[in-house]
Amino acid sequence: MSLHARSLVLVAREFRMPKLGLTMEEGTIVEWLVARGERVEIGDPVLSIETDKVETEVEASAPGWLHQVGDVGSTHACGSIIGWLADSADETPGHSGISGTMGSAQPELALTDTISSVLIASTNPVIDGGRIRSSPNARRLAGELRVDIRTLTGSGPMGRIIGADVLEAPPSAASSRAPDRATPLVEAVSARATGAARILADLLGVDLAHVAPDPIEQRVTREGVAAHVRRLLASIEAAPRPSGPSDTSAPLPPTEAPAAVRRLTGMRGTIAKRMHASLTEMAQLTLTMHADVAAVLAHRSAWREREPRSTPGITDYVIAAVGRALRQHPAMNATVTQDGIVQLADVHVGLAVALRDGLLVPVIRHADRAGLVAISAESRRLAAAARQAALGPDDMAGGTFSVSTLGAFGVDSFTPIINPPNVGILGVGRVRHDIVLDGDRVTTAAGMTLSLTWDHRALDGVPAAAFCRSIVEGLAAPADLVYPRSAR
């Protein structure tokens, strides 16, 4: 048997059912246009086939004497053998021991591998192991033009698909050129990689599309594949078992020789994910504005003399002023959804509370109408609960705006990041005592810088500045913040 097979290598080439388009799976033989044992030349029409779309003629890709395998009316999968092109008319089926092999039910099982290796121009460039023989240039162009290289027929040496085959791709293959029809297949074909990288990726089952290309070589290298696999292994080993790696954004590759590695899980992971999403999804920008807080300081020291235990903090004054400003400027009390900018009915101000290990933003409800006493009591309760990890879900939900204060750490101004789905956040700086010129008189003034970040998708600079101005005005009249306002 094997001896017969070897001799066949030299005398016959398989003739396969062609794949004429992306969606063609099989074809039916309508008519053999060349009789059994007749001589055909390259390009001669050999048979007519019918696909689910069209009836067409198939030409010979090599010269030889035709031996038919498929019968008229029979249906064959693309790539299956429907005939042979032999080097002589003598070795016809039924006339020799060799022909017995060819005529048997599955001749290709014994023959395909050896025969494929001597093909000069096959109708199907798939070679051993399912690899498609294609030039580097063809693969690059296929990626750039989004052509499915598997639908092409190679015209280069050894049946290799070359760049010109991609450029001349027939309409069936070109249908996948539409940029909105990107398929995973196309991505895989388009990944630029060195030969060594492809071999290693094949061996390890790595999808080259997931491996970052070498920045200098501009294609995936063997080292890149190895680093990718090492990283995957490291992340599997380091991940907490079933109790759950978090849904954090994809970890960055570790830097060399880290002093310490802290995984982006739990609260850290949530902060990383939310803050990164905030900056990538919104059009954020920050303005700063000076606020005179002399009145607040005076108000507060008077309060302390009268009622030291309930004295509000500076931040409480700010929250009260923010709440009232939000009521005046509903555009800032909003959220951006797929439907558009949604103005929210209630005003709930989140307060960023720093913890040893992260940050929580509990919410002070109805800050627009709550009085300073209530705000102060609530902010104290929430801060304490946050530090004791005793916040309930209701304490955290529903904020429509946020306030973050770094004044206690000597910060004047900063660029806070919006806590999604809000459209604004106010950063509160430290209280400063500045020397100022009042007319022609030198005096001191207490002030702070407010840093307002807002989402430019929701509102523009002038309304944002007007909102901030309202806060400044609120802080200039602290007595108005003391008493609750009636709900409207």
Partner 1 sequence: MAERRISYGAAFNEAVRQAMESDPDVFCAGEDIGAFGGVFATYAGLQAQFGRERVVDTPISEQAIVGLGIGAAVTGLRPIVDLMFMDFICVAMDQIVNQAAKLKYMFGGTATLPLTITTAGGAGLSAAAQHSQSLEAILCHVPGLKVVFPSNPYDMKGLMTACIMDDNPTVMIKHKRLIGMKAMVPEEPYSVPLGVARIARPGSHVTVVSYGRMLNESLVAAEQLATEGIECEVIDLRTLQPLDTATIVESVRRTNHAVVVHEAVRFGGLGAEIASQIQEEAFDYLDAPVARIGAPFSPVPFSPALEQHYVPDAPRIAAAVRDVVARAIVGARGT
Residues in the chain, overall count: 488
Minimal distance, residue 121 CB to partner 1, in Å:
4
Interface with partner 1, residue 163, by CB under 8 A: yes
Interface with partner 1, residue 126, by CB under 8 A: no
Q: Which is nearer to partner 1, 68 or 379 (CB)?
A: 68
Q: Which is nearer to partner 1, 51 or 284 (CB)?
A: 51
Q: Which is nearer to partner 1, 110 or 158 (CB)?
A: 158
Q: Which residue has the tokens 């070498």?
A: 214
Interface with partner 1, residue 219, by CB under 8 A: yes
Interface with partner 1, residue 199, by CB under 8 A: no
Contacting range for partner 1; rule: CB under 8 A; set: 97-105, 149-157, 264-272, 298-306: 149-157
Which pair of structure tokens corresponds to residue 232? 């995957």
Candidates 97, 103, 157, 461; binder of partner 1 (CB under 8 A) is: 157
Interface with partner 1, residue 171, by CB under 8 A: yes
Q: Where would I find the H helices in 61-194?
A: 97-103, 107-116, 136-145, 163-167, 171-174, 184-190
Q: Which is nearer to partner 1, 111 or 138 (CB)?
A: 138
Interface with partner 1, residue 447, by CB under 8 A: no
> What angle in degrees, to the nearest 10, is found between the helix axes of 314-328 and 461-476?
130
Are the beta carbons of 344 and 334 closer than 8 angstroms? Answer: yes
Q: Which is nearer to partner 1, 95 or 131 (CB)?
A: 131
Minimal distance, residue 49 CB to partner 1, in Å:
9
Q: Which is nearer to partner 1, 167 or 185 (CB)?
A: 167
Q: Report in angstroms the alpha-carbon separations of 417 from 145, 246, 279, 289, 464.
A: 40, 22, 7, 17, 15
Interface with partner 1, residue 58, by CB under 8 A: yes
In 3-state terms, what secondary structure has residue 267?
helix
Q: How far is the C-alpha of 143 from the C-alpha of 136, rounded, in Å?
A: 11
Minimal distance, residue 315 CB to partner 1, in Å:
59
Minimal distance, residue 98 CB to partner 1, in Å:
25
Q: How far is the C-alpha of 162 from the C-alpha of 125, rounded, in Å?
A: 11
Interface with partner 1, residue 188, by CB under 8 A: no
Total chain residues near partner 1 (CB under 8 A): 41
Bridge pairing between strands 75-77 and 12-16: unpaired
Interface with partner 1, residue 123, by CB under 8 A: yes
Residue 253 CB contacts under 8 Å (≥ 6 apart), including other chains = 227, 231
Q: Which is nearer to partner 1, 115 or 471 (CB)?
A: 115
Q: Among residues 336, 331, 323, which one has the least CA distance to residue 363?
A: 323
Helix (H) / strand (E) element for 86: namely strand 81-86
How far is CA 326 from its chain centroid?
35
Minimal distance, residue 43 CB to partner 1, in Å:
5
How far is CA 9 from its chain centroid?
49
Minimal distance, residue 56 CB to partner 1, in Å:
5
Q: Where are the beta strands (DSSP E) in 344-469?
A: 349-351, 353-354, 359-360, 363-364, 401-405, 424-428, 432-438, 441-455
Q: Which is nearer to partner 1, 197 or 452 (CB)?
A: 197
Candidates 99, 116, 172, 221; binder of partner 1 (CB under 8 A) is: 172
Interface with partner 1, residue 182, by CB under 8 A: no
Q: Which is nearer to partner 1, 58 or 426 (CB)?
A: 58
Given the rule CB under 8 A, which residues bind partner 1?
Answer: 18, 20-21, 42-43, 46, 51, 53-54, 56, 58-61, 120-121, 123, 135-140, 153-157, 159-160, 162-164, 170-173, 192, 194-195, 219
